[in-house]
Structure 1
């Protein structure tokens, strides 16, 4: 039995045949409309929208074919089963070409054949309607997705521009020192960040930070880092004046550690920070859980600086230590995020770390050569953010 409301339309000018067919269909649970000619049949088709039409081809004045054409070309799209005498197969072929979905031969002596044809046509019709509904939903969802993607791209582009605006000029020359950086995000936004700036007339500060994770949330923390360091420098200058001030890397890392924990962002940072004293020609640096360590290159040799410390933003009791070293007359100092290790040859992390100072020495500590040896270009895509900061003095 069909569910209530399944409406069929029978069009036949033979009263006995039409009523007999309608009785069989009603006995199977269908609601049946009847029409005796093409005109009334088309009216019922347009006003009642039956799910299936059974139409006799031998209507008066050969109207059956024109009626089939009009119904199959209608936007309503309901299937049409044509009925024809056994000897009129040419008529059936013509009707099928006009869009009829199936045919039955008169007289209809087997009710099971009728029921099978009707069920099959209805199943196909309903499946087509469901497919159309699914397609419409998918098209609507795709349109909405395109809108959301455009909004996301616009947001990402705005965030990317914000990050670019926060980064320092590269290269930047200040006195005897040159600083330059390269930053390659794995996504549109980067969780890596570098900065360098004047602390006073005789002090130069720099840092490289790698925020945990990727994308917008990590990029947001880089904005905080810029704000925190700038705020701390402002407070120190306000307290101590515009001359030489106390600006220790360990204090910077400690300040950021406390601030990130209080923000409860679920993010932490590995950092390398340093301050160059141009009067004493020394470098004071502090390490916050970052690998690889800084690599200093001088007199044709490169080696890691020593030091250790906890990641920034994880442990409330974390303490950071300052280490001070004298600076050669000519040298370069290279800071890298851990994404650089993915670019180095070696089967283990230890082998990759051992390779980095060798590569830097081979390139005389120069940014261009280092990036080329790592295989990193502006269009390179990597699974992790990559940042490189090179500080050099009196480089030839």
Structure 2
């Protein structure tokens, strides 16, 4: 069956992981793979997660199935975390998924099934899995302007001009916070402008929220999606707990749909789960549920998340300062204003190759840098290499 098959191109980030692992240089630096690292270079298990897992181990008496949509307690906890009181629970359909990627896939599959004529609008640039999944499903897609490489910020006018062409029923895919790969986020005024545009055109916002708490804090990072949910009749959300709970390998995600037809949407989501993987993973979801349902564990988790965010913001500020010293200019000053794990540094693919081959600094080919992969000891060397190669 496979004799004449040409294998697909390897995923660029997975390929980069393999190259980094095979590199024998002791001073190599991984700024490509999107995981958080503490100042000592580890990707730690959060203490609140360990405590929740200990409690689960002590109390859990069965590994039997829960439901096609996942544990209702977990789904309610995710609704409260993301939406707060912006929309009544009676208007929120939900299902658990294997990670945020599974949530994105389930939303897109659902829309393809119910509204096959819809076009999906994605930012330029966006997370590579967005167009990959859309294309695999055979859906129509268009891009809208988002990032201005000259300023390192949002191209607000271009974004709104492009999205004005969206039709009723089209999806507008937005990053809830900490835009991947640019780090340039929407302001509250921008979110309001998008809400007004959707109300005017009938387009449906689809928010991918994978980094809540990594930008400006749990509540601030949810402000945009809450504004949409409180304003519009229908909003789709794909959520991930990989980053903010450090549950990368547990694959914890969820779909939330704001609609007046909650019962119908819940039934569709459960049916989609059945067709794809039946029951979603439970262990990581139960960890999240237990943390968000226990005041002490939630406070501990929030404190740890605050510390992670502070580390990333400190990395940004330190790198911007080191680059200012190395280049004699404020060319990279925008790095300090960005939010989350990622920023684009304006490197061409051949410059990324030089950074890897000559300096042992690993970036994704489009110049995306994971600032969470920096540590205080490597920031001066990274800044010198960037200044030299990008001169």
- TM range, normalised to the smaller chain? under 0.3
Structure 1 or 2: larger strand share? Answer: 1
Structure 1 or 2: larger helix share? Answer: 2
Q: Which has the higher contact order (CA 8 A, sep 6+)?
A: 2
TM-score after normalising by structure 1: 0.25
